[in-house]
Amino acid sequence: MSDKKVSVEFVEDVALICIDNPPVNASGVAVRQGLVAALSEIKEAGRTKAIGLYCAGRTFVAGADITEFGKPPLEPLLPDVCNNLEDFETPIVAVIHGTAMGGGLETAMGCHARVAVPTAKVGLPEVLLGVLPGAGGTQRAPRLSGIPNALDLILSGRHVPAKEALEMGLIDRIEEGSIREVALAAARNVILGKLPTRRTCDLVTPRDDAALEAAMAMVQKKHPHLISPQKCVEAVAASVGDFKQGLATERAAFMACLPSAQSKGLIHAFFGERAVANIPEKKAQARDVAVVGVIGGGTMGSGIATSALMAGLSVTLIEVTQEALDRGVATISANLDGAVKRGKMSDAKRDAALGRLTASTDMMTLADADLVIEAVFEKMEIKKDIFAKLDGICKEGAILASNTSYLDINEIAAVTKRPADVLGLHFFSPAHIMKLLEVVVGTQTAPEVVATGFALAKTMRKVAVRAGVCDGFIGNRILGHYLKAASYLVLDGAHPYQVDNALERFGFAMGPHRVGDLAGLDIGYMTRKRLAPSRPTEERYGGAIADQLSENGWNGRKTGKGYYVYDGRETHENPDLNVILDAERTKAGGAPRAFSDDDIVDRYMTAMISEAARVVEDGIALRPVDVDVVFLMGYGFPRFRGGPLHYADTIGAAALVERIESYAKEDAHYWQVPALLQQMAESGRTFADMNKGR
């Protein structure tokens, strides 16, 4: 197959330019060079009256080639290619299918008209990568659709369906048919005067200072940490003036964002969410899953059932009593209503989903399920009893999964005669909203069962990360470790509110105490009691303050009081907290001292990175990026920082080792240098190096 990315086909007085650069026709340098060459070829031929530009494969250009970011720019640059298209003397019609994103839509806006098939979507999602449309998008979109629409598109990064794009003025027509035929017909319509064309740069953007001011205020409030949203607004503002000056303003803004750590973090996140699908079992044949059994209709079970129903699967929900079953069904129904309210599904789809739900108190109903997910109490004995029963009930080849958040999958598998069909599917609450799924692989889990877990995640529009078996797998194991660091900070003098505020300024959606109140402080309380027998004697106990809160019945939001007091939608400081802090600090015998916000962030992050390094070292996570994706998708880690181990590379292993060694002077048991980090400090290897090619 020729590696030519762009071809020209002459059909009488029409020329068709076809871009063919799988998988998504990203406009890498070969595509850009090919487009320039195609225009020269057409000019040379001299007989063309109109041009149709379209793409082969599943989509129109999905954007600039993000893999080129951070490397020396290769001519011709995309902005120049878009200007070449616009300046070309023969009218060009872009024909859009799939998703014309970023540089793809910019390429289309550089053309003289745009036609889309009904299923096409367009967007300018560059802000999600920490940059902004850098090939004229901030100047052409406002000229075509006005400043409010352009700001909506550019600041949200959302995918706009063809019909809405037509209403916005981004496209001119919607036509059915095969892409090449639509392109040929569109070009012919130009020649017949049936499809008007114009240079976008000749249009004038209507002033709208109010929209610009409102947008700037919104991004400063909503994204105080981020650079590119404000730069987006500034660039769009320039679109009311001279076009070439506007392009220069856009270029400057783009170049201010591109080298930023934020953009590097967001791009790491983008590729990371795809890299985690690269597992050893990738080639194994996943089993078909049409009917999913869910045991337990509590928060998790009903959330999992909702997610499966929304993905088009049939669900059999099992509970022990009719009352519990009714509660589960009611929760599922409420979850689906919420999805309709959020515009995630239509009424009809909601009704169809409920039609696929079977609810029963009889486990025999699971006999024909393809995969069963147990989501009951986190008690090993209860789970073992259920898996032993399932083993006898479920058909051969059915997969048995536990939603346990930390228990040993191997121990559960051992009570069945089918350990190869057993794995962990650890969903995150609320399961019908959170995208992360830890697929926990037991020592005997068969490759096709792992592959089925990943296929199920894709069906449920979740991101699966492969995890080995240990207490807490990837996320909760690391969480348990760094929460101890937070508790030591508080015992040593930092106020819980200062810890929360410092970490929220770092970029976390919520600090650990606010998260604890939201999840329920009793969860941590029960975990500490569960782990108490195995806690090493030399380990400093940090849970006394949280224990006091739980023993007072103050378990957070659900009880109206925890670290904070909750009054409806209002959150206030807990006036009884300081007495507990003083009492427990006195009991601990330390001398409370002040910590700066930086101290707090450094200790918290160093603790997180240390345990994350051990999780990689132990092979519980396949790669560092897998840990990053777990924390980005499941623990509110700030996306622009790329995840704990991407962030670790910005500090450097040697500096991290130094920090741990200095902290170890206070607590040599807790602060130990992970062997992997020590090796990295000596060799200069980075976590990014460990991700390469894996």
Cα separation of 264 and 270, whole Å? 10
Among 8, 14, 50, 65, binds ligand T1G (CB under 6 A): 65
Question: 9, 41, 89, 106: which one is catalytic?
Answer: 106
129 vs 609, beta carbon nearer ligand T1G = 129
Q: Hey, which residues between 353 and 392 contact ligand T1G (CB under 6 A)?
A: none
Which window, 130-138, 419-427, 565-573, 674-682, contacts ligand T1G (CB under 6 A)? Answer: 130-138
The reply to whether 396 belongs to the active site is: no
Go through the chain and tell me how many residues it has: 694
Write the DSSP string, 78-99: HHHHHHHHHH-SS-EEEEE-SE
The reply to whether 250 belongs to the active site is: no
Among 15, 101, 291, 620, binds ligand T1G (CB under 6 A): 101
- Burial class for 192, CB neighbours closer than 10 Å (0-12, 13-18, 19+): exposed
* Interaction of residue 102 with ligand T1G, rule CB under 6 A: yes
Site size for ligand T1G, by CB under 6 A?
A: 25
* Interaction of residue 99 with ligand T1G, rule CB under 6 A: yes
* Interaction of residue 133 with ligand T1G, rule CB under 6 A: yes
26 vs 55, beta carbon nearer ligand T1G = 26
Cα separation of 645 and 612, whole Å? 7
CA proximity to 63, closest of 128, 155, 113:
128
Which tokens hold the place of 157?
């990064």
Among 126, 281, 500, 522, binds ligand T1G (CB under 6 A): 126
Cα separation of 475 and 690, whole Å? 19
Residue 494 phi, psi dihedral angles, 5° rounding: -75, 140
Question: Minimum CB separation from ligand T1G for residue 272, in Å?
Answer: 10
* Interaction of residue 106 with ligand T1G, rule CB under 6 A: yes
Among 96, 135, 521, 629, binds ligand T1G (CB under 6 A): 135
Q: Could you tell me the sign of the dihedral formed by the alpha carbons of 594, 597, 603, 608, in that order? A: positive
Residues 6+ apart with CB under 8 A from 641: 261, 262, 265, 506, 507, 647
CA proximity to 339, closest of 317, 306, 291, 294:
306
Angle between helices 103-110 and 78-87 (to 10 degrees): 20
End-to-end CA distance of the chain: 27
The whole-angstrom distance between residue 100's C-alpha and the CA centroid of its chain comes to: 20
Write the binding mask 264 to 293 for ligand T1G: x where contact by CB under 6 A, - elsewhere: -------x--x-------------------
* Interaction of residue 63 with ligand T1G, rule CB under 6 A: yes
Which window, 125-133, 393-401, 531-539, 575-583, contacts ligand T1G (CB under 6 A)? Answer: 125-133
Which window, 2-10, 98-106, 320-328, 615-623, contacts ligand T1G (CB under 6 A)? Answer: 98-106
> Which amino acid is located at 508 in the chain?
F
Question: 44, 86, 126, 281: which one is catalytic?
Answer: 126
Cα separation of 137 and 275, whole Å? 29
* Interaction of residue 131 with ligand T1G, rule CB under 6 A: yes
131 vs 431, beta carbon nearer ligand T1G = 131
Question: Minimum CB separation from ligand T1G for residue 640, in Å?
Answer: 15
Q: Which residues bind ligand T1G (CB under 6 A)?
A: 23-24, 26, 62-67, 78, 99, 101-103, 106, 125-126, 129, 131, 133-135, 137, 271, 274
Give catalytic residue positions: 106, 126
